[in-house]
Structures are given as C-alpha cells and as structure tokens.
C-alpha cells in the first residue's frame, strides 16, 4: 500500500492536478472569507466553509477522475493486480494519497480563524468543529469520486458523472421539495430510485439478469408496502433525501450543533463507496 501511496503522490506533485486543486480550494475559501468575515465583519468562520462547500462539485471530480479510470484506459491496472498486495490496499493507497492532497490546503485554511481572531472574537470550538466536519465532507465526496472513477475508463465521463452526483447531493433537499409529499408521489420516487439502483447493479456486475432482479425486487417491495400501509409514504421521500444529503449533515454542524451522528454518517459513506470501488476492481480482475 505504501508503494501505491508514494507512486500516486509523485504523479500528483509532478503534474498540475494537486496545485490546481489546492489553488481552487484556497481561492474559493478566501473569497468566502472576504465576503463574510472581512467585508461583512462576521466572526463566524463556519459560514465561510458553508459558502465554499459548493466548490467540491468542481474540484473533487477533477482530482479523482483519473485515479482508477486512467489505469483501466491504459491497462496498467493489470500491473496493480500483479503486485503482492490486495485490491483493498490498492484502493486505500490511492485514496489516502487523495486525502493528503486535500489536507495540505486544508491545513492552510486552519490558520484563518487564528488570523481573524486578531481583529474580532472568533469561537475556536465552533470554527474548528466546522473545519473537522469540512474535512469529513470532503473525504466522503472523494470516496464517491474514487468509486465513480473505478467503473469507467473515461476520465471525462468520470468527471462529468462526479459533478452531476455531487450537485444532485448538494441540491437534493431543495429538489425533493418539488416531489409531491403525498404518499403516491413518495412511492413513485422510491420506485424510480429502485430502478436506478438496479441499473447500477447491472453496470457493476455486467449481468442484466441480476440488475433486473435487484431493480424489480426493490420496486416491487416499495409497491407492496404502499399497498398495505400507504400512510407510511406521506412526506417520506423528502425526509429520506434530507437524511442522505452530505451537505445537509454538514450544515447541522455549521449551525453550531456538533452532531456525532453526522460524523458517523460521513465515515459510513467513505467505507461504503471504497468498498464498492474494491468490488469494481475485483470484478475486472476476475473478468
């Protein structure tokens, strides 16, 4: 795993990827600090982090698009399978390298509350609690990006899909309000989600039968539950989207409530999508 980590770090530092990622993150956080903390005179640094969260939709896909997609395109992934390490170690090595790329500019951002405290009163507990949540938010989105990169050999497709997924998660709470909160509306939305999951399973396994089976079971299960207890679905879909939104969990901490459940959710998302990335590589190995 250490060899993979060192190899990835060399690639990032010898190209513009790491520098572009860090520059965009620092630039956007600096812009937020200028708008909120300097011009408006607001001492809450966590508002700046909340403002700059949207930048993840651009910089995370750019950072993660090549991590596994390029290996598949160049067929150098066959060399990875020949290494005396497991697929899990390969994915972890690449993921940790990406985290280091994220931690470096984040370490610079950690100085901001100290600087602003020289000119006003900054709550260090709230500011650094939000910074911790900001790290976990970025780490979770990077894990999603690694998984997306593992299912394709096109960097462009990986970047585009990554941007779409992160934007969907960012606006999921607002978009869910356009879905009828009635039982029928929630049921229809959940059936559609079941079909999408079936398509994802088909894409990952390469088996149309398994994809259809999973999608059919999920859709049928939702309709059966609706038939026996329709009241259960009233307002259910907006509630689910609110709970699943990474940015919503981050906003809870930004608002001054350090919710341990939100941190647990971030960690769970990281583990889940890295697990999917490992399974995607294992599937390609056996194929």
Q: Express each pLDDT in 53-76 by its tens digit.
A: 888 988 898 888 888 777 666 666
What are the tens digits of pLDDT across the range 1-40? 777 788 778 877 888 888 888 888 999 888 888 888 777 7
Predicted TM-score (pTM) of the model is 0.88
pLDDT of res. 211:
76
Mean pLDDT calculated for residue range 119-133: 86
Helices (H), the chain: 2-14, 17-32, 45-52, 56-64, 69-74, 77-82, 87-109, 112-116, 124-150, 155-170, 172-176, 183-205, 208-228, 236-244, 246-254, 260-286
Can you give the pLDDT at residue 286? 60
Encoded tokens for 262? 């939100």
pLDDT at 267 over 90: yes
Q: What are phi and psi of 117, to 5 degrees?
A: -70, -20
- What's residue 106's pLDDT? 92
By mean pLDDT, which of 108-117, 131-140, 182-191 is the weakest? 182-191
What pLDDT does residue 137 have?
Answer: 93
């Amino acid at each position: 795993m250490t060899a993979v980590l060192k190899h990835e770090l060399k690639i990032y530092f010898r190209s513009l990827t790491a520098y572009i990622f860090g520059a965009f993150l620092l630039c956007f956080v600096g812009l937020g600090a200028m708008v909120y903390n300097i011009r408006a005179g607001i001492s809450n640094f966590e508002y700046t982090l909340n403002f700059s969260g949207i930048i993840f939709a651009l910089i995370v896909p750019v950072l993660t698009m090549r991590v596994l997609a390029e290996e598949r395109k160049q067929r150098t992934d066959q060399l990875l399978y020949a290494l005396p390490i497991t697929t899990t170690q390969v994915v972890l090595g690449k993921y940790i390298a990406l985290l280091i790329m994220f931690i470096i500019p984040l370490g610079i951002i950690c100085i901001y509350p100290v600087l602003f405290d020289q000119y006003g009163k900054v709550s260090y507990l709230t500011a650094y609690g939000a910074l911790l949540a900001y790290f976990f938010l970025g780490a979770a989105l990077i894990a999603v990006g690694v998984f997306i990169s593992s299912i394709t050999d096109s960097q462009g497709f990986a970047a585009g899909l990554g941007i779409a997924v992160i934007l969907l998660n960012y606006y999921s709470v607002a978009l869910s309000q356009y879905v009828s909160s009635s039982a029928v509306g929630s049921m229809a939305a959940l059936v559609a989600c079941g079909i999408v999951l079936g398509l994802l399973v088909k894409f990952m396994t390469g088996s149309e039968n398994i994809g259809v089976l999973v999608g059919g079971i999920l859709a049928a299960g939702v309709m059966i539950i609706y038939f026996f207890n329709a009241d259960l679905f009233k307002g259910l879909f907006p509630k689910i989207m609110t709970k699943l939104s990474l940015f919503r969990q981050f906003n809870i901490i930004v608002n001054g409530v350090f919710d341990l459940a939100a941190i647990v959710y971030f960690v769970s998302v990281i583990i889940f999508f890295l697990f999917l990335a490992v399974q995607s590589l294992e599937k390609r190995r056996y194929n």
